[in-house]
């Protein structure tokens, strides 16, 4: 009998798939009454054999539950690994309880905990959900990531409720909650309030996840929350917010115009100017709004407004910005040289460009020459 079984085992590593399949069937038939004895082959020297035995054991179903629970405490790392792989295919409350005990045991090694958490993510009982969320506060990144991936695998109303029930999460936990809930696309309407709160987070990555959420779902009623980030201390957040507001298109224009008229923040006014220059807006409206900014005391706001006035092409507004040929700020004069090149070539614009071509700054002269040549050749 042993020789026959060994012959079948040898055939499991054969390159011919038909012979391997025949060997699996023979082994399953011979071990139908004592499938637990097959577990010793999970530590076979040949990985192919171990994998084929794994597939054979899958065929025995839930009758293996007692053996699987027992093998979770095996000292053999190969047997433990394949046991966790097998468990991932069963939704047993008994197995789940044992997994939780071992995950929470401080004597369980990190490597084993990672496999246990992966197996636990395939269970379907409520308690395992709470354990996975609790791991968001683990000292080990690999367990936090494994728990998040596991909850993403278990997307559903129960998982959603458990995740949203976490009160006043730490920065640490907040990130993993956000990362996980980002993947609950089916329930995105249920998670809007959570991501609005995340916009106030002190964690840069949490804010970025929230901004990605609002970019994806274009939620209404959150414009003031998004606009407040244009005044954030981090440049990366301000830039990402501006890019996302551009994605909202024309719908943001009334809010942006109101912000320009009421804001005292240079950051807000600068980014609003940048956004308005990128979204579809009538030339008249763009010129009207930029006229409010072009006289600002901040050179960066003036320079951005000048560029936008150049795009709008309204002559009355263009003639107004010509006065900035002598502005003390180089960036303002450089953007004026660019803006004038977007318009028709008349005497006033020609004279302004001629002045800029004599500017003391090399870059201002460079852009003035480019604009002059472009307009002359029209």
CA atoms within 13 A on the CB side of 317: 26
**Tokens 């008994």, residue?**
94
Quick one: which of 331, 339, 325, 232 has its CA closest to 277?
A: 339
pLDDT value of residue 14: 66
What pLDDT is stored for residue 10 in this prediction?
66
**Residue-level pLDDT at 7:** 63
Tokens of 116: 């246990």
264-310 pLDDT tens trace: 899 999 999 999 888 888 888 888 888 888 888 899 999 999 988 88
What is the reported pLDDT for 4? 46
As a whole number of angstroms, the distance between CA 36 and CA 131 comes to: 30
What integer pLDDT is reported at residue 6 of this predicted model? Answer: 60
- For 337-364, the pLDDT digits (tens) are 998 888 777 888 888 999 999 999 999 9
12-16, 65-69, 179-183 — which is least confidently predicted?
12-16
- Tell me which architecture the domain covering 290-378 has in CATH: Alpha Horseshoe (1.25)
Half-sphere exposure of 349 (CA within 13 A, CB side): 25
Write down the pLDDT at residue 268.
92
Whole-prediction pTM: 0.80
C-alpha 21/C-alpha 27 separation (Å) is 10
pLDDT at 28 exceeding the cut of 80: no
Instruction: Using alpha carbons, list the distances in angstroms from residue 181 to 139, 148, 185, 199, 255.
Output: 21, 9, 8, 14, 28
Return the pLDDT at 92: 83
CA distance 251 to 245: 9
Domain boundaries, the chain: 290-378
Confidence of residue 2 (pLDDT cuts 50, 70, 90): very low
Tokens standing for residue 347: 């005497």
Mean pLDDT, rounded, of the chain: 88
108-145 residues labelled b (16+ CB within 10 A) or e (exposed): eeeebbbbbbbbbbbbebeebbebbbebbebeeeebbb
CB 293 within 8 A of CB 302: yes
Q: How confident is the model at residue 144 (pLDDT cuts 50, 70, 90)?
A: very high
Give the Cα separation of 156 and 167 in Å (integer): 20
196-243: pLDDT as tens digits: 999 999 999 999 999 999 998 888 788 999 999 999 999 999 999 999
* Cβ neighbourhood burial of 34 (10 Å; 0-12, 13-18, 19+): exposed
Q: Is the pLDDT of residue 23 over 80?
A: no
Span 309-344, pLDDT tens digits: 888 878 888 888 889 999 999 999 999 999 888 877
Per the listing, tokens 């002598």 go with 326
Number of residues written out for the chain = 378
Q: How far is CA 149 from the centre of its chain?
A: 13
């Amino acid at each position: 009998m042993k020789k026959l079984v060994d012959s079948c085992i040898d055939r499991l590593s054969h390159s011919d798939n038909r012979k391997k399949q025949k060997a699996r069937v023979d082994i399953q038939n011979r071990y139908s009454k004592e499938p637990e004895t097959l577990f010793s082959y999970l530590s076979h020297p040949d990985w192919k054999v171990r994998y084929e035995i794994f597939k054979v054991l899958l065929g025995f179903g839930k009758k293996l539950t007692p053996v699987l629970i027992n093998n979770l405490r095996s000292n053999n790392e190969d047997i433990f690994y394949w046991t966790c792989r097998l468990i991932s295919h069963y939704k047993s409350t008994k197995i789940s309880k044992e997994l939780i005990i071992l995950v929470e045991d401080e004597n369980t090694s990190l490597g084993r905990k990672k496999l246990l958490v992966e197996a636990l993510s395939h269970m379907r009982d409520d308690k395992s959900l709470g354990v996975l969320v609790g791991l968001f506060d683990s000292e080990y990144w690999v367990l936090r990531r494994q728990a998040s991936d596991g909850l993403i695998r278990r997307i559903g109303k129960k998982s959603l409720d458990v995740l949203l029930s976490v009160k006043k999460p730490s920065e640490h936990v907040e990130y993993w909650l956000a990362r996980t809930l980002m993947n609950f696309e089916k329930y995105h309407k249920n998670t809007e309030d959570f991501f609005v709160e995340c916009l106030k987070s002190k964690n840069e990555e949490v804010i970025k996840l929230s901004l990605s959420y609002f970019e994806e779902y274009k939620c209404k009623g959150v414009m003031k929350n998004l606009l407040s980030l244009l005044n954030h201390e981090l440049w990366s957040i301000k830039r990402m917010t501006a890019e996302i507001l551009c994605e909202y298109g024309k719908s943001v224009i009334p809010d942006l115009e109101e912000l320009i008229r009421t804001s005292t923040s240079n950051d807000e006014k600068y980014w609003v100017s940048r956004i308005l220059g990128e979204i579809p807006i009538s030339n008249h409206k763009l010129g009207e709004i930029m006229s409010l900014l072009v006289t600002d005391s901040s050179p960066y706001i003036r320079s951005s407004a000048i560029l936008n006035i150049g795009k709008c092409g309204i002559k009355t507004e263009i003639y107004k910005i010509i006065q900035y040929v002598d502005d003390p700020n180089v960036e303002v004069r450089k953007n004026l040289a660019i803006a004038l090149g977007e318009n028709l070539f008349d005497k006033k614009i020609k004279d302004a460009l001629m002045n800029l071509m004599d500017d003391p700054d090399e870059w201002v002269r460079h852009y003035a020459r480019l604009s002059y040549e472009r307009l002359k050749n029209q």
